[in-house]
A and B are shown apart, each in its own frame.
Chain A
Amino acid sequence: MEYIPHTPEDIRRMLRTIGVPSVEDLFRDIPEEIRRGYRPLGLPGSSEPEVRRRFQELSRRNRALVPFLGGGLYDHYIPAVVDEIAGRSEFYTAYTPYQAEVSQGTLTWMFEYQTMICELTGMDVANASMYDGATALAEAVLMARRIVGGDRVLVPRSLNPFHREVLATYAHGAGIELVEVPFGDDGRLVLEDVPEGTIALVVQQPNGLGIIEDLSGLKERLGKAFLIVSVYPIALGILEPPGSFGADIVVGEGQPLGNPLSFGGPLLGIFATRKEYLRMMPGRVSGRTVDVEGREGYVMTLQTREQHIRRERATSNICTNSALCALRATVYLASLGPEGLRQVALLCLERAHDLAEAIQEIPGFELALRGPFFNEFAVRCPDPEGTVRRLQRHGFAVAPPEFVERMGVQDAFSVAVTEKRTPEEIEAFVQALRGD
């Protein structure tokens, strides 16, 4: 077949060199009863045109609605250069850059990515990606515990429910209890006490309900516990970064940076911390150094934190990460520049507020929370389920009522607006809401 080049003659030659009469002799080390037990799938092979057609059929059975929908993943415009560059096979067919001399392409963009993430988040060091924002959050909590100890973590009720679920799974495995922190009518975190044995306070910015949290004054109230902030990176184009407020670790879902919605994967886990915690940080990092001729180059460094050296004492078990998605984020940020990122963020802010204001004009519809928001907000109405279905019939998708219900907001659905939502789409969305 087309991926396996061995002709019958090649096979004969190799068998001769090896010194066995047949291919079956190469597998006699697998116990016969196991080999006899094998059951084929009942699947014939297919040619490329046939497989391609099959996937076209599968693709056509999906219907991409217009996403007025966030829930942790956002539909942002991806500049053409991103696909072009990430599509170069020297990037996507490359292995992890353990052999630095033949991997300067990968190691250089990793270094750029690390710099950009630090700039966005206001932190000192960043790794070259985790799987996604939810597992990055879980790993941040585990890292915080390694440093300050403790057995419980404060988690806002307004944390994205999918992130909370993943955190809960990891926490259970590690013997860590989740303690809920409520929010007020404005949707913002209300921190009361910080109990004994607290590892960290987790804050999401903006939070799962879209509300912009006030990060000032939090770190000071935590004693030795960590402040872990999970961010929406586009919002950091116009929001002051968590580093300015004393955050110890910043994580987040990086998908909005140059990666499509992808039906939820692959995603991009952002992870950044302060320089004093560098050696406790999980994940790969690219470091600048010089070669034997004094030329500047990059190499994977501080590998002694990682699993292949420390094994059970490693900072994490992570090996494969989300590199290609991080490359896309790097090219995205490089192509936007600081003004472009701000412009995108402002467009999101403007269009979201245009829509929110139009919605509030519709009788029976109101914003569920009073607080300031970036581009996502919860809408309360008499029949949220019916409204969501009506929107779907018109080709619009929003986050279903159960999404905000799991964060404690009743009778509402959640809407997100990005720079990709045109004034025409917004107008049509409003009409659909009205039920015209």
Chain B
Amino acid sequence: MVPKELLYTKSHEWVKREDGTVRVGITDYAQKKLGDVVYVEFPQVGTKVKKGEAVVTVESVKAAESVYAPVSGEVVEVNEALSSSPGTVNRDPYGEGWLFVLKMDDPAELEELLGPEEYASIAGEG
């Protein structure tokens, strides 16, 4: 089951609303599909992104997947701890495995995201 307090995207990102910002990571479904994460490539803090644009690349041994901005905004924080322990993305995808924090341009864009039940049906979970 996916955490109920989060929002989701079709491209398997989870989104946690914080104060004027959103914290973003990849879901358990995504981390399983990717396999053991070996490296995470971050943009510079301060980078501005549009909704749907690739922000971060998460690499396993055999794949390099983009993680997309669920809303438009500015990157204000990246999870640097992942440089020394990228496996955290697999172990704790919804917690310590968070990837980046965006300052939102327009909180209304959050309404376009998926709720936990909608996402769960896409990810083929219960």
Contact = CB atoms under 8 A, between A and B. Distances in A.
Interface string B48-67: 00000000000111111000
Contact of A310 (B38, B60, B64): B64
A389 to B, nearest CB: 57
A316 interface: no
B41 A279 contact: yes
Nearest to B64: A304
A279 B39 contact: yes
Interface in A17-63: none
Interface in B12-59: 38-39, 41, 59
Contacts of B62: 303-304, 309
Contacts of B64: 304, 309-310, 313
Contacts of B38: 304
Contacts of B41: 279
A304 B35 CA distance: 13
A313 B41 CA distance: 13
A285 to B, nearest CB: 14
Nearest to B41: A279
A304 B37 CA distance: 12
Contacts of A304: 38-39, 59-64
Nearest to B63: A309
Contacts of A279: 39, 41
Nearest to A306: B64
- Residue of B59, B60, B62 with most chain A CB atoms under a 10 A cut-off: B59
Specify which of A279, A303, A304, A310 lies most central, judged by the most chain B CB atoms within 10 Å of its CB: A304
Contacts of A313: 64
Contacts of A310: 64
Contacts of B39: 279, 304
B43 to A, nearest CB: 14
Interface in A300-314: 303-304, 309-310, 313
B36 to A, nearest CB: 12
A304 B34 CA distance: 12
A313 B60 CA distance: 16
A304 B59 CA distance: 7
Nearest to B59: A304
Interface string A290-306: 00000000000001100
Nearest to B58: A304
A313 B64 CA distance: 10
A278 to B, nearest CB: 10
A279 B61 CA distance: 13
A303 B38 CA distance: 11
Interface string A277-290: 00100000000000
Interface in A333-392: none
A237 B41 CA distance: 38
A304 B38 CA distance: 10
A303 B59 CA distance: 10
Contacts of B59: 304
Interface string A188-232: 000000000000000000000000000000000000000000000
Contacts of B60: 304
A58 B60 CA distance: 52
A313 B59 CA distance: 13
Nearest to B62: A309
In the complex, the 3 A-B pairs of residues with the closest C-beta atoms, listed nearest first: A304-B64, A304-B59, A310-B64
Given A279-B39, A279-B41, A304-B61, 4 more contacts: A303-B61, A304-B39, A304-B63, A313-B64
Interface of B: 38-39, 41, 59-64
8 contacts: A303-B61, A303-B62, A304-B38, A304-B39, A304-B59, A304-B60, A304-B62, A313-B64
